[in-house]
């Protein structure tokens, strides 16, 4: 069995885990991160897309509000290009009028969250599709944030600082050493989910950043962490309905936020308590509720074309009262006492559970050293979560090394804030129209190749997270085939590459790849029958040939992955679009009768399961 030795082992490749790896590596710790699937495959890649100003939580969850505004200011500097500076409106609809807006404005002031009331007529001029019956509007520094890009940028920063990132590596066991009094986590058993290879990682300290899976990971160390999981459903419309993040000015509830993300608007969410972090089912009532509530923000939203539905599971944590002392918060803020403003009930539902971060130092909490859990929080607060986790790690390891992430921009920030037209602008100025693999999201061939070469790619869905492949109106109708072709070609070429170099800062930029990439016409290239994959450099992360010999599997997996998210919302034009996809993949390609390809990828089963959808009571 292969063995790796490290100081800090991070479990989980979401926002939190990559943030922890970045922070720990910057502080000079030898760091390894394991993620059982692709980076951001968990909640981070299924969230609503909002960089919170904190205003949403000012009256309900002041701790979280304070964390959010602090991080909002920092992330605009460290992750500039992952953020579109949309600004946010909190609108008072006819249903919302009571004393909430005044209490809201006062609380924002108290917690130092910039909040300007603007005339409703001004807001309507800026966002003409908003409900014309709104009476008051507050403007706040909310923004839209791309969690895929941010995690990749953070991963690249971590790697540059020396961290080793191992996606498709699942933690399967934790080795404990010592007896009563000096019990410690000393090593981890890890499984490469692509090759089936087992790995032992000896670590001085393990940081559990497994999000909704934190309870399961803690259980491997025989520690009880009771997560409170809240599943939320979101829908994407096929066009941007507003250019500003819209919140209802009321106690947080279901379907009261509309976020413009890239070319779409996303309405969400529900909040259903679930026990299984992999429960991503979407119910009919959830779709209906999102559309009904969406109409209150933008009347007519329910009649717009819906592209897709998805669900994420909030990793919320609510420590039972007795052990309250061992929940660590970061160093007290001036507004630390804000939490006393509205007390939360002893055992809240997930909608009411705090969004503040939870740091569990298991040495103090459970007498188990070498093990820390960091959970709760928001995407917005991932950096702060990482900071407090690594602070606790320093304390356990007996060293003082200050956190540097707040002052260290990740690679790519020089591109400035994201803006909607940036891809189109680059594609046009570089004359790359004919190289588009995905017309909906303006993904060029070079972007796709760059993404596939620069971080491990096992499924096409990994490339979707990298460059937004297949996320537009046709939901993979045209680009699935093309991406398989490009990937197959790329991987049968001789060019050596290191799929673990994580140079992903410009992964989203058509122009950058164009300048970087090989010339489009390289003369007649012949491809000899290549039954055996060509020898190539292997990244330590993953065997890049894993899916080389299975282009058909790549194709089927991605078709099924896209299908899963459209079934709940197929009607009208989107139903028609899927029939076109059938025409392409059945009639033209005959993709359901491809030769000898009964294999499975690590994700095949995931794409096929979990259908409790309104669209499908059939088997």
Partner 1 sequence: MTDLLIIGAGLTGLFAACTAARAGLNVRVIAQGAGTTHWHAGTIDLLGYLPDGRQPVANWMQALGRLPPAHPYRLLGAASIANALDAFQQLAAAAGLPYERAAASIDSPGPSAPSQPIDREDDSRGHFTDIAPGRNGQLISPVGAGRPVFLAPQAQLAASLEDERPFLIIGFNGMTDFYPALIAENLRRQGRAARSASLPLSRLTSRRDHNTIQLARLLDQPAAQEKLIEMVSEAAASGERIGLPAVLGLKLHTRLLAKLNQASSARDRRKTPPGSPLQPSFSLFEIPTLPPSVPGMRLDASLRAQLTRLRVRVEIGMKVCGVRASGRRIEWIETETGSRPLRHTARNYLLATGGILGGGIRGDRCGRVKETVFDLPLTAPQTRSQWLRPLFLDKRGHPVFQGGVPVDTRFRPLGRDGAPVYDNLWAAGSVLAHTDPIRERSREGIAIATGFAAAHSVAKGQ
Ligand X SMILES: Cc1cc2nc3c(=O)[nH]c(=O)nc-3n(C[C@H](O)[C@H](O)[C@H](O)COP(=O)(O)OP(=O)(O)OC[C@H]3O[C@@H](n4cnc5c(N)ncnc54)[C@H](O)[C@@H]3O)c2cc1C
Binding residues for ligand X, per CB under 6 A? 11-17, 34-37, 41-44, 47-50, 52, 170-171, 209-213, 217, 232, 268-269, 312-315, 377-380
Q: How far apart are CA 235 and CA 287, in angstroms?
A: 8
Q: Which does 36 bind (CB under 5 to 8 A by kind): partner 1, ligand X, none?
A: ligand X
User: Which one, of 398, 312, 396, lies nearest residue 360 by Cα?
Assistant: 396
Q: How far apart are CA 311 and CA 510, in angstroms?
A: 30
| Contact (Cβ atoms closer than 8 angstroms) between residue 588 and residue 506 | no
Report residue 528 as tokens. 């000899």
Q: Which does 11 bind (CB under 5 to 8 A by kind): partner 1, ligand X, none?
A: ligand X
Q: How near is the Cβ of 130 to partner 1 at its closest, in Å?
A: 23
Q: Which does 551 bind (CB under 5 to 8 A by kind): partner 1, ligand X, none?
A: partner 1
Omega before residue 564 within 30° of 0, cis: no
Q: Which does 594 bind (CB under 5 to 8 A by kind): partner 1, ligand X, none?
A: partner 1
588 binds partner 1 (CB under 8 A): yes
Q: How near is the Cβ of 581 to partner 1 at its closest, in Å?
A: 8
Q: Which does 212 bind (CB under 5 to 8 A by kind): partner 1, ligand X, none?
A: ligand X
Query: 317 to each of 59, 226, 299, 362, 406, how far by Cα in Å?
Result: 19, 7, 36, 15, 25
576 binds partner 1 (CB under 8 A): yes
580 binds partner 1 (CB under 8 A): yes
Q: Which does 481 bind (CB under 5 to 8 A by kind): ligand X, partner 1, none?
A: partner 1
Report residue 554 as tokens. 């790549």
Instruction: Output phi, psi for 332, to 5 deg.
Output: -55, 135
| Contact (Cβ atoms closer than 8 angstroms) between residue 8 and residue 207 | yes
Residues 6+ apart with CB under 8 A from 181: 367
Which residue among 148, 382, 481, 606 contacts partner 1 (CB under 8 A)? Answer: 481
Which residue among 60, 351, 378, 482 contacts partner 1 (CB under 8 A)? Answer: 482
Instruction: Output phi, psi for 431, to 5 deg.
Output: 55, 50
Report residue 341 as tokens. 């403003």
Q: Which does 60 bind (CB under 5 to 8 A by kind): partner 1, ligand X, none?
A: none
First to last CA, the chain: 41
Q: Of 537 and 579, which has the nearer Cβ to partner 1?
A: 579
Chain centre to alpha carbon of residue 318: 22
Q: Of 239 and 575, which has the nearer Cβ to partner 1?
A: 575
Q: Of 15 and 555, which has the nearer Cβ to partner 1?
A: 555
Q: How near is the Cβ of 30 to ligand X at its closest, in Å?
A: 19
Report residue 150 as tokens. 């941010």
Write down the residue that tokens 């050293």 correspond to.
369
Q: How near is the Cβ of 422 to ligand X at its closest, in Å?
A: 22
Residues of the shown chain interacting with partner 1 in the complex, contacts defined by CB under 8 A = 284, 302, 431, 433-437, 445, 478, 481-482, 484-486, 488-489, 492, 520-531, 551-552, 555-556, 559-560, 562-563, 567, 570-572, 575-576, 579-580, 582-596, 608, 611, 613-619
């Amino acid at each position: 069995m292969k063995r790796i030795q490290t100081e800090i082992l991070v479990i989980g490749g979401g926002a939190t885990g990559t943030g922890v790896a970045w922070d720990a590596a910057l502080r000079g710790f030898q760091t390894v991160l394991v993620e059982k699937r692709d980076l951001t495959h968990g909640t981070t890649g299924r969230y609503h897309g909002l960089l919170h100003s904190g205003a949403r939580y000012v009256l309900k969850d002041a701790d979280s509000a304070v964390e959010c505004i602090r991080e909002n200011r920092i992330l605009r500097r460290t992750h500039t290009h992952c953020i579109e500076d949309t600004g946010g409106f909190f609108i008072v609809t006819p249903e919302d009028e009571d004393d909430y807006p005044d209490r809201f404005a006062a609380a924002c002031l108290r917690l130092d969250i910039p909040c300007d009331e603007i005339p409703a007529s001004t807001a309507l001029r800026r966002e003409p599709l908003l409900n014309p019956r709104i009476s008051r509007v507050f403007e706040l520094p909310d923004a839209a944030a791309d969690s895929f890009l941010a995690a990749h940028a953070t991963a690249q920063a971590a790697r540059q600082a020396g961290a080793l990132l191992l996606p498709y590596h699942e933690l399967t066991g934790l080795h404990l050493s010592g007896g009563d009094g000096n019990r410690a986590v000393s090593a981890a058993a890890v499984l490469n989910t692509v090759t089936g290879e087992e790995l032992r990682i000896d670590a001085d300290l393990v940081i559990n950043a497994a999000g909704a899976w934190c309870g399961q990971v803690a259980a491997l160390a025989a520690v009880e962490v009771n997560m409170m999981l809240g599943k939320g459903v979101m829908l994407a419309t096929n066009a941007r309905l507003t250019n500003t993040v819209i919140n209802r000015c009321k106690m947080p509830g279901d379907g009261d936020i509309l976020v413009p993300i890239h070319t779409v608007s996303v309405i969400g969410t529900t909040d259903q308590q679930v026990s299984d972090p992999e429960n991503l089912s979407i119910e009919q009532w959830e779709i209906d509720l999102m559309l009904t509530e969406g109409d209150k923000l933008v009347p007519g939203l329910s009649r717009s074309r819906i592209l897709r539905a998805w669900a994420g599971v909030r990793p919320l944590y609510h420590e039972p009262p007795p052990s309250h002392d061992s929940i660590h918060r970061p160093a007290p803020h001036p507004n630390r006492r804000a939490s006393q403003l509205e007390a939360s009930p002893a055992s809240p539902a997930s909608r009411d559970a705090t969004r503040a971060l939870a740091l569990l130092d298991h040495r103090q909490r459970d007498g188990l050293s070498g093990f820390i859990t960091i959970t709760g929080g928001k995407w917005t607060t991932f950096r702060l979560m990482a900071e407090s986790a690594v602070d606790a790690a320093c304390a356990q390891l007996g060293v003082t090394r200050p956190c540097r992430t707040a002052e260290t921009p990740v690679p790519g920030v020089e591109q400035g804030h994201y803006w909607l037209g940036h891809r189109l602008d680059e594609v046009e100025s570089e004359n790359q129209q004919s190289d588009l693999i995905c017309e909906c999201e303006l993904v060029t061939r070079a972007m796709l190749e760059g993404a596939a070469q620069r971080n491990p790619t096992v499924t096409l869905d990994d490339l979707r997270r990298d460059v937004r492949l297949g996320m537009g109106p046709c939901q993979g109708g045209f680009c699935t085939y093309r991406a398989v072709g490009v990937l197959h070609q790329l991987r049968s070429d001789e060019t050596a590459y290191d799929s673990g170099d994580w140079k992903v800062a410009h992964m989203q930029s058509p122009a950058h790849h164009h300048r970087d990439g090989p010339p489009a016409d390289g003369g007649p290239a012949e491809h000899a029958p290549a039954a055996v994959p060509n020898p190539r450099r292997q990244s330590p992360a993953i065997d890049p040939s894993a899916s080389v010999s299975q282009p058909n599997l790549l194709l089927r997996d991605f078709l099924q992955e896209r299908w899963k998210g459209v079934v709940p919302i197929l009607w009208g034009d989107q139903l028609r679009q899927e029939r076109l996809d059938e025409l392409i993949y059945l009639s033209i390609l005959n993709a359901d009768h491809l030769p000898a390809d009964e294999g499975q990828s690590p994700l095949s089963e995931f794409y096929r399961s979990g259908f409790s959808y309104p669209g499908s009571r059939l088997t």
